Structure 1
Amino acid sequence: MIIGDILVLRKNPGRKRAQRMLKGKIKTVCFLKQISGKKRKPEIEVLAGDGLKTIHREAGCLFELDLSKFMWSPGNRRERERMQGLVKPGETVIDMFAGIGYWSIPIAKACPECRIIAIDINPEAIRQLERNCQLNGISNISARVGDCRELAKDLQDRADRIILGWIFRPESFLDAAFRMLKPKGIIHFHYLDRFLQEEELKRAAERAGYSFRILSDVKVKQYSPRTYHRVMDLEAWK
C-alpha cells in the first residue's frame, strides 16, 4: 500500500529489491511488521529511502503523519467517504477513538456546520489531529486527551452521533457510548464479525435505558482470512 509518498509492504523483499522500488513519487520503502498496543503503534522497518513522515491525501483531506508512530488503514477509505455523507448540519458527533483524525477530519471537512468532539488516549495523536485540523482549515473539531470511558463520566456534551471505532472487544465501550448519546441518536459500532457478542449490545442498551434498531450493517474490509471488519449503525432512543 502507498501512504503519501511511502510504500508500505507486509512482506520483506530485502533491501536490494526495496531500493529498486524507489521511483516516481515513492521516497521511502518500508516493511510493516505489526501494529500493537492500546495506542495501535506500528512496528516498522525502513528498507530503502529515508524518513517515515509524509502527507497523505484522501477523501478531499490532507493527513500529516509519522508512520513510526501512527497507523493508517487504506481499507477504511470507503467507510470514511460514507460517513462524510451521513452527518448533517447542526449535529454533534463524538469520535471515541479519534487518532490523528481518521474519521473526524473527513466529516468536519464535508460538514463544517456540524460539531465534533474527538477523543484519544494518546497525547501525540491528539497533537497530530490538531495539526491536521490546521492543514485542512478546520475549526469545528474540539480535541480531548483521555480514556473515553473516563471522560464519558463527566462530559457535559451529548452527541447526536457517536463513532465507536475500536474493533477489539468494542462491546466494553458501549456503556460509555450510551452515556454520551442524546436521548435519540446513532452509534456507529465497529467490530470484527467473528467476535461480536450480540447479547452484550442488548445488555448495554438496557443498562442505559435505551432501545435500538440496526439501520445498516456494512462490510468495511477484510481483517484476516476468515474475519471482516464491519460497522453497524445503531439507532437508539429512550
Structure 2
Amino acid sequence: MTIKYQKVGDILLVKKDLTGDEINYLINKTKCKTILKYNYINGDMRKPKVKLLYGTETETIHKEHGCLFKIDVSKVMWSMGNIEERKRMAYISNSDETVVDMFAGIGYFTIPMAKYSKPKKIYAIEINPDSYHYMVENIKLNKLTNVVPILSDNRDVALKNIADRVIMGYVLKTRFFLDKAFEFLKEGKICTIHYHDTLAEKIMNTEPINEIKKYAEKYEYNILSHEIHKVKKYAPGVWHIVVDAELIKYNK
C-alpha cells in the first residue's frame, strides 16, 4: 500500500481522505498519534485548513537538522518541502551579522540560523499570534539567546538601517514588502536580501531580480551579485524560488 504523507513529530499530514484500512496501515507503519488531512494554507496569517482523520492531539515537537520545533499543525503552517532551504539558511550567516526575518513563523529559518550561524542578533517578526507563540517556545526549547521575537506586521516595526541580512520567506505577495526590506538594510555595508516568490518557470530567472532592481534603484542601492535557487515545485510549471541578492548603497 502506497500513501503519500508528511510526518511532523508524531503527527501525519496527508492530502486526501483515507479509508479505515489506510488509516490502520499508517498507524502501524509510523506509530503516529494523529492523522490530519491538510487542505490548504489560508490568508496572510498562513493558517492551515485541516480535517482530523485519526486521533485528537494536534500539538507535537518536530526535530529537524538538530533543531526542535514545537508546533500545533492545526493552527500553524508547516512545509516539509522547504527542508533543504532551511538547512541552507542554517549556515549562511555569521557571528558579525544582524539579521531581520520578516516572516518568521515558528522560527523556520530563524531557529537553525541562530543555532548554527550564530549571528549577533536576529529580529524575528511574525504577525500570526499562534505562530509567534510557538516561535517563543522554540527559542526556549533550543536555548537561544540571540533572537528577538516581535509580534507585528513587519511594515509596522520601527527598525531602520540595522540589517546585514534580510529574510523574506513569504510567497505570492512578497514584492509588496520590498519597501520595508530596503528600510531594514544597513547602509555603508554589503547586505543580502533573500527574496522568495512563486513564478512560472519561463520567467523565474528574470522576473524576481527585475523586481528587486526596481526597488534597489528607488532606494539607491547597487546589486553586486545575485543567485536564484529552486526551493520546490509549487504547481505544474511553477516554482517556489529564492533570490539571494547582494547589495550596497550608492557611494555619494
State the 1:175 CA deviation. 0.8
Q: Distance in 2 between matches of 1:232 and 1:198?
A: 7
User: Residue 54 of structure 1 is aligned with which of 49, 54, 60?
Assistant: 60
Identify if the C-alpha distance between structure 1 residues 164 and 38 changes in structure 2 by more than 3 Å, giving closer, same or farther: same
Q: Which residue of 2 aligns with 1:210?
A: 221
- Pair 1:6 & 2:11 matched: yes
User: Residue 166 of structure 1 is aligned with which of 143, 146, 170?
Assistant: 170
Q: Distance in 1 between matches of 2:41 and 2:24?
A: 24
Identify if the C-alpha distance between structure 1 residues 172 and 30 changes in structure 2 by more than 3 Å, giving closer, same or farther: same
Identify if the C-alpha distance between structure 1 residues 157 and 206 changes in structure 2 by more than 3 Å, giving closer, same or farther: closer
Q: Which residue of 2 aligns with 1:44?
A: 50
**CA contact under 8 A between 1:87 and 1:114: conserved in structure 2?**
no
**CA contact under 8 A between 1:34 and 1:43: conserved in structure 2?**
yes
TM-superposition CA deviations, 1:127-177 (whole Å, max 9, x none): 2101101111111100111111221xx214610000011111211111100
State the 1:215 CA deviation. 2.8
Q: Which residue of 1 aligns with 2:3?
A: none
Q: Distance in 1 between matches of 2:134 and 2:12?
A: 21
Which amino acid in structure 1 is aligned with residue 19 of structure 2?
G
User: Residue 101 of structure 1 is aligned with which of 98, 103, 107?
Assistant: 107
Which amino acid in structure 2 is aligned with residue 50 of structure 1?
T
Give matches, 1:62-77, under 5 Å.
62-77=68-83
State the 1:30 CA deviation. 1.4
State the 1:214 CA deviation. 3.6
Q: Distance in 2 between matches of 1:15 and 1:150?
A: 48
**CA contact under 8 A between 1:84 and 1:106: conserved in structure 2?**
yes
Instruction: Give unmatched runs, 5+ long, in structure 2.
Output: 1-5
Instruction: Give unmatched runs, 5+ long, in structure 1.
Output: none
Give matches, 1:125-144, under 5 Å.
125-144=131-150
Which amino acid in structure 2 is aligned with residue 227 of structure 1?
V
- Pair 1:124 & 2:135 matched: no
Q: Distance in 2 between matches of 1:236 and 1:191?
A: 19
SS state at 1:69 partner: coil
**CA contact under 8 A between 2:193 and 2:244: conserved in structure 1?**
yes
Identify if the C-alpha distance between structure 1 residues 113 and 146 changes in structure 2 by more than 3 Å, giving closer, same or farther: closer
Q: Distance in 2 between matches of 1:209 and 1:10?
A: 45
Query: What TM-score does the superposition give when structure 1 sets the normalisation length?
Result: 0.94
Give matches, 1:130-209, under 5 Å.
130-151=136-157, 154-156=158-160, 158-183=162-187, 184-194=190-200, 196=207, 198-209=209-220
**CA contact under 8 A between 2:209 and 2:243: conserved in structure 1?**
no
TM-superposition CA deviations, 1:85-140 (whole Å, max 9, x none): 21111210100000110000010111235310000111221121011011111111
Q: Which residue of 2 aligns with 1:111?
A: 117
- Pair 1:227 & 2:238 matched: yes
State the 1:204 CA deviation. 1.0
Moved more, 190-199 or 67-76: 190-199
Which amino acid in structure 1 is aligned with residue 220 of structure 2?
G
